[in-house]
Amino acid sequence: MKTINGFSINFDFSKLIKVADLIYYDGPLLSHYVSNKGENYLFYWVDVDNEYNRWVVIRTDIFSIQQYLEKKSTLHSIITQPNDGFVYTVDIDDKIHYHNIKLVPIANLPEEYTPTENSYYAFEIEDNIDLAAISQKYSSGILEIHISGKDVKYGSIPLNKFAPIIPKIEDIRKSMSSKFIKRVKHSNTYLERNAKQNIDRELRLDTQYEYMYSLAGSIRIILKPINQQTSFSTTYSDDFAQDLIQLFKAGYDKKSILDFSGLYDKNILKKYNDFVSFLNEESLAVGIKWYNANSKTSYKQDISTHDTKKILANLSDFEFDNKEEIRLCGRFYSINIRTGNYAFESAEGDDFKSIGFLDETRRQMAYNIAFNKTYQVVIERKTIEPIGGKEKIKDILISFVEAESEKPITKNSLS
């Protein structure tokens, strides 16, 4: 390999996190990395021998990377005009150990290590980050939220599109967490896995996330559970992440929506519908991915811009049915013997009203009803609630008897 005229330095490249391979051919040739401080670096492969692969490392900025990917500037200009006026060279062995790290003034960089002046971007981005490496680094499961779509560039997104996404996802997570914890505490695995105290607290920490950082490569948000405990078997944080990602999958299939509604409830599906509606309105796509290097668990699901309408259609066809029996005391203020319609109001002063139909037996007895009398009635109420739609109520009166004047007025609602 070429002799490099530069200054030997110490630089811990292992702390940098890969965002994406921008050029890939039988291995990465140009890769984007970011530091914990948000500094952007490009690794450009330039040479190889029997021991090492040599890379030129350039500290740059997201705007310069965007310009390059949009074919408005060249890789040549990024390398020959770095932010610092110099670049780094590093030799990396097969075990990803770093050797011969040097700070190199641009004037000392061998000409063979500089791309041609017309080196415009002409490749497809391998837009993936190494979640396994991040998970190993923090010894924790990692949740990645990947946003792409209209007006989303490599590393930037309009604020009006970005700002609502995290609160909507957090609203879903928060609602799911309480249901998940209750379900776990009633399961056999809860007793098998845990003979410890403070398990309630641990479950809360397993189902809450903390923000780590954002990465470019479209827009990527990296989160991790608050719980710091390390486990090499499947954890509750894995189980919860699986359920969260299952919700994203459920919208593609009506049976899955039904199954999920049985596992959780309609309010979570409503929040999911609201989230997908926002994606549809803004022409955005979202991917959600979980990886835990310790327990070797991995789950993922993407919602593309082409799929949001399909998901919303599946959700709109799904209705929640809820039946309850209502017993109360009050007066009729409308009866249609021919059609069987009635209107009834509570005598308790709570403004409760019921408008519906008499069942066949009560319809035959309707001529006995007097508007100046008080009745004890039983109403069978069916509530139909489409996701994203208005609630529909159907009342059928199945019993009425004249109330005794000395009887106290009561009202009970039995689910």
Q: What are the average pLDDT values for consecutive 10-residue runs of the chain, which has 415 residues?
A: 93 89 90 89 96 96 92 95 92 94 95 95 77 86 94 91 95 93 75 57 88 80 85 86 96 91 87 95 96 93 96 85 87 94 89 93 93 95 79 92 65 40
Domain coordinates in residue numbering, the chain: 7-113, 131-317, 320-414
The pLDDT mean for the chain works out to 88
**C-alpha to C-alpha distances, 232 to 90, 191, 235, 283, nearest whole angstrom:** 34, 19, 8, 39
Instruction: Give domain 320-414's CATH number out of 2.40.50.140, 3.20.20.80, 1.20.1580.10, 3.40.50.300.
Output: 2.40.50.140
CA distance 28 to 43: 9
How far CA 340 is from CA of 238, 242, 245, 277, 358, in Å, comes to 55, 50, 48, 40, 5
A 10 A CB-CB count for 95 gives: 5
Question: What's residue 191's pLDDT?
Answer: 52
Q: At residue 130, what is the residue type?
A: D
Chain mean position to CA 208: 13
Residues 94, 48 contacting (CB under 8 angstroms): no
Task: Give the predicted TM-score (pTM) of the model.
Answer: 0.71
